A and B are shown apart, each in its own frame.
Chain A
């Protein structure tokens, strides 16, 4: 039996029950559009989290003393040649920064807090959140700035103001404590008060002077695009004998786990929506088959092969699915574009911060996800039609005609 005839038959069958099939089509559209939109939100969340994990002084790759993660102190530092540059092709390298990051205690007139004291060269910090943070007051001028910048949230805790002096205590390379007064240059505003409460920055030269050696505790490297982290990691490991090179997944295992979870969530979400939809689809197709028992019997009686019956039912389902997926994807993409500016979650900002997110959720469309949705929907459409098709084939032409 020519396929063209089967296609024609299927298409006509679909238009025989306009209202019923329209409802089913709507269900498919809503499901596909919903999945598309939700997935783009999950992706937005996922990449937002990854970006903030990388921007929060981590970078894609970081070079550390092997003991630093267990004991992040100035004793676990290393020296760098003055003209050191990471050996990475310029088009892959977004930037790099060498810093000192050690624990310290900060004191104002009224409060004392534990902090991470970070010496930075402001010129290198375009790779971290410091680069585009907003300031009350002003940012650090250069690597030998003798002032500090602190987070807005920490400033509130310390009850202090721009221009005031704070005392910071930390440990020098000789293991003895150093304390020094620092004027506040400004307060930075990070997305999320978690960072603001922890990090206090000063010029790296100032901090090197304070700890008493020209050393660094970390070099952070940010790459462009989808980075080929592993090949670069190997190159760097070779260069830095005695140090370790870690990628962001190792440094931020929680964010990395969330990242993987989001990958799975996209799929799980899709399965739930499709699972529900499939039963509707199967139900409709079975109804369509059962009300056409006489018709199928007749077709079989005049010589239609069982295979052709199956193809006919499968085609009906596939047409329905293809149409629904197309329209659904259209609606979904439309929704994403409509929400392109991002969804303001400021109301739940505190909860969001715990998950390492910013307060604006920007959906992110990924071609791979669209293909996954479209492809799997079609597969499910075919699978769903198999049972009704089998029912159709099982019809005994004699019995059917005698009804």
Chain B
């Protein structure tokens, strides 16, 4: 069941990857400040009213690996419905997120529950993502001191390295975060440092492709550096944007009935 938080997290992260659509074809200029750059990268979904994606997630450990597939619908920035399609054990399980609230549905029990906040802040057992990793991306804008520390040219793109240092009483456990953003606002890499300033985990975009008419990071990998043999990979296989979605999709009823 908890896999669902992860899904949402990754999904939203994905969405952030989808930031830049070709239709906006925006690119960063050197005059942009770090917060502006990051805001643009976060503000991925500007122009995306709805989306439908099919994705696959692999949780890899030295001695085992699990692959799940799911379909995901989003509306605006806040509303998400995820339904697992495989493995058979998890198929039908779903998660609904509406703004700050989140529910999960377990098909075997035919029950849905509202998730308490404390659970949502946990990492999914066995995976390397935590809900906080990606869903609360705007926290970077609110609680961190941001500065561009490097500009590099890579494959004809300008790549910005942003250092984010949390404010004194920020609700942030990291010592700092370092984000690498391409000039088309695709987030390439996000590194989390502990308070000794040792890197602890890294989220990397390992594949950037055009899907559904947009270019975004289609494959993300989260690795905890203390155990590099363990990682979680999230890949988008199919995406459609700005399609007609019924508002009924984003309701508790739809969560439970498995509508659609």
Where the two chains meet, the residues of A that have a C-beta atom closer than 8 Å to any C-beta of B are 105, 107-110, 112, 114, 146, 160-161, 164-169, 177, 179-183
Contacts and interface: CB of A to CB of B under 8 A. Distances in A.
A107 B173 contact: yes
Given A109-B195, A109-B200, A110-B200, A167 B171 contact: yes
Interface stretch (B31-39, B115-123, B154-162): B115-123
A181 B168 contact: yes
A179 B171 contact: yes
Interface in B161-175: 166, 168-175
B194 interface: yes
Contacts of A166: 173
Q: Is the interface of B mostly helix, strand, loop or mixed?
A: loop
Interface of B: 117-118, 121-123, 166, 168-175, 192, 194-195, 200
Contacts of B117: 169, 177
A105 B168 contact: no
A105 B170 CA distance: 15
Contacts of A109: 173-175, 192, 194-195, 200
Contacts of A160: 195
B121 A169 contact: yes
B118 A114 contact: yes
Contacts of A107: 121, 173
Contacts of B170: 165, 181
Contact of B194 (A110, A112, A169): A110
A165 B170 CA distance: 9
A108 B173 CA distance: 5
13 contacts: A105-B118, A107-B121, A109-B173, A109-B174, A109-B192, A160-B195, A165-B166, A166-B173, A168-B171, A169-B117, A169-B121, A182-B169, A183-B168
A90 B195 CA distance: 48
B64 to A, nearest CB: 22
A165 B169 CA distance: 8
A180 B118 contact: no
Contact of B171 (A108, A110, A146, A180): A180
A361 B117 CA distance: 43
